[in-house]
Amino acid sequence: MSQATARVLNSGMRLPPLPTIRELVKLYKLQAMKQLSQNFLMDERLTDKIVKSAGRIDPRDIVLEVGPGPGGITRSILRRQPQRLILVEKDRRFGETLQLLRECASPLDMQVDIYYDDILRFNIEQHIPDITQRIHLIGNLPFSISTRLLINWYADLAARRGAFRRNDTCMTLTFQKEVAERICAPVGSEQRCRLSVMSQIWTEPVMKFIIPGKAFVPKPQVDVGVVKLMPLKQPKTQLPFSLVERVMRHIFSMRQKYCRRGYGTLLPPDGREEATQTLFQRADVRDTLRSFELSVPQCLRLADAYAEYIREHPEVEGYDYRGPKIQDAATPSGDNDFTPAYNVVKCI
């Protein structure tokens, strides 16, 4: 018997009988909206398994659920009896089902707050100003925002802000199976990508289990992976998040070529080959490896080398190899003796 189950039985408190999620969806005529990437998970055994994957939820903990929809995972969270449950739902059509769950939780002294908002804009610090309680982030994420949300949360984790002002805020989230495999992909895996390295710099990602697509309504074209991401006590780098993200994006921009090709696009064409070779030597990384063959320490040494290089050559920091070419304004028009212009992107 799990600790959560034992706690509920010993307290004598449990949620009152409720209609099933399938019954509520039918009662309120709720249909998944394709433009919001909605897929309902009806099987309570699976929602219980997702919440169980989050680990121990203590009576003083706060749980923030992303996109509760009709409330399948929400019920499973309430059975674990956190002190407070925050629901962030963009679609107001689910208001009546979520209000029903809030009313059922009230006699059990559980606070349930419902916010109709976009999780990408939701200000967690404003709604959870106190950091004395541990936070769990749980959700069946819409496929369309899952990667963007995760990168945003990594930025918060690196800066120790938002939900990550404490270092024990775990994330238990669903992704398309392919994305889940990328997050957890080891060195040498065909699935290894920028997201793999970014995930493994700041967290320890673990694939918990796979949910077949047929378990959802409507059935998606792909299966779904449940991933738990546990923040590392000590991040593997102290470099600015934006710099690390930029370097990883360039390294993995040409997956099947030698990693020096993508990495080199961080630098202007004039002297690129020589500078790239120098940076790989500084980082002690073989430049004929392909990006998916690079370990996290190797990627970070390349980021360190780039950070040192732009301290020495600050004019290179804003270079964007895909940006428009801007000729130096000080060079007279038509002058045959001018310095090649860089592609410069304004850094914000």
Q: What is the pLDDT of residues 41-95, one digit of tens each?
A: 889 999 999 999 999 999 999 999 999 989 899 999 999 999 999 999 999 988 9
* Spatial distance between the Cα atoms of 194 and 176, rounded to a whole number of angstroms: 16
Query: What's the confidence (pLDDT) of residue 340?
Result: 43
Query: What's the confidence (pLDDT) of residue 338?
Result: 35
* Spatial distance between the Cα atoms of 125 and 213, rounded to a whole number of angstroms: 35
What is the distance, to the nearest Å, from the Cα of residue 3 to the centroid of all Cα atoms in its chain?
Answer: 29
Residue 39 has pLDDT above 60, yes or no: yes
223 is in an annotated binding site: no
- When the pLDDT of each residue in the chain is averaged and rounded to a whole number, the result is 88
Residue 40 has pLDDT above 90, yes or no: no
39 is in an annotated binding site: yes
Helix and strand element counts for the chain (H, E): 13, 9
The angle at the Cα of 241, spanning 185 to 306, to the nearest 5 degrees, equals 90
Residue 3 has pLDDT above 80, yes or no: no
| Phi, psi dihedral angles at 136 (to 5 degrees) | -115, 135
Query: What's the confidence (pLDDT) of residue 19?
Result: 67
* Spatial distance between the Cα atoms of 162 and 100, rounded to a whole number of angstroms: 29
Residue 226 has pLDDT above 80, yes or no: yes
Whole-number percent of the chain with pLDDT over 90:
71
Which range has the worst mean pLDDT, 28-32, 69-73, 198-202? 28-32
Does 326 or 23 have the greater pLDDT score?
23
What is the residue whose two structure tokens read 């990550």? 164
Q: What is the pLDDT of residues 286-303, one digit of tens each?
A: 999 999 999 999 999 999
Residue 329 has pLDDT above 80, yes or no: no
140 is in an annotated binding site: yes
67 is in an annotated binding site: yes
Query: What's the confidence (pLDDT) of residue 155?
Result: 98
Does 284 or 106 have the greater pLDDT score?
284
Q: What is the pLDDT of residues 102-143, one digit of tens each?
A: 998 988 889 999 999 999 999 999 999 999 999 999 999 999
* Spatial distance between the Cα atoms of 250 and 255, rounded to a whole number of angstroms: 10
| Phi, psi dihedral angles at 311 (to 5 degrees) | -70, -35
Residue 248 has pLDDT above 60, yes or no: yes
